[in-house]
A and B are shown apart, each in its own frame.
Chain A
């Protein structure tokens, strides 16, 4: 007998969906938030909501053909890429200086660090952020997924829908640019 799926608002299917959704946010909320934050900075909060709204809506259609994490990363990176491309195109929503400084303070605040070490870390964090934002969005995405999120090449290819070779060559280009810009912080 064919399985018929009935979606009834407020019924068992909706309850199941809500429960699954809550489980996903509980388990992966921080990871998605971190990724989005690393991609777009202080505008992350709004964007994270949009990402999870899309997750909520697409959940009934998710059949597990991809790994759940890959699926989440795909939704999140696509949303971030859209956002960054649009921002670049319209040139209207640049990070204000205050927002920018606030991001840096948040990121540099390491528990137990001395004030001097804090300032140093702040400078470095600010510099890293500045360098990351100067990269073309595709290069930034691949370096965030690999070096900050720790994804394997194969996962990155699945998330972004790029061939493996493209992942490798773009990662190489991104790192080459970052090495040049951050050379004062590298020992040689």
Chain B
């Protein structure tokens, strides 16, 4: 019999060869010192790696792990909600500034007289009434921001 592939020798050590194949390879080892040495060295290496011990979790550590993961999962959920709320605020800001700019442009387009700030504020209010119906709270928030900006 020709020398088996090295992968086959490892499969033998790992008990992963079908019985008939394992018997054939084992017979080969009796008459081939090179392959027999290979197998011995694989066995030694595996034994060497296996004897390493690692710390084991006790009852308390398990309980702590469960608790800490649950807490983290909870925090993550809250963060996701907060992020969602932040993006809503950002969107309403963009909307508010957009409608404000549009109103400003309409009132100050070429050929018209400049508008006084209070007239602009009134126009803005009127404009926002229209959006408010459709966009509710978001437009409301945007309007408050615009009033705050104008007030400065």
Contacts and interface: CB of A to CB of B under 8 A. Distances in A.
Partners in one complex: yes
Residue from B7, B55, B56 whose CB has the most chain A CB atoms within 10 Å: B55
B48 A53 contact: no
A188 B41 contact: yes
B87 interface: no
Interface stretch (A68-76, A79-87, A89-97, A168-176): A168-176
B54 A106 contact: yes
A12 B144 CA distance: 43
Interface in B41-97: 41-42, 44-46, 48-50, 52-57, 61-62, 65-66, 68-70, 72-73, 76
* Chief secondary structure at chain A's binding surface: helix
A56 B135 CA distance: 38
A162 to B, nearest CB: 14
Contacts of B42: 175, 179
Contacts of B7: 168-169, 172
Interface stretch (B9-17, B24-32, B104-112, B120-128): B9-17
Contact of A33 (B16, B37, B57, B69): B57
A52 B65 contact: yes
A158 interface: no
Given A49-B69, A187-B44, 10 more contacts: A22-B66, A30-B56, A30-B62, A49-B68, A56-B70, A128-B49, A128-B52, A143-B49, A169-B7, A172-B7
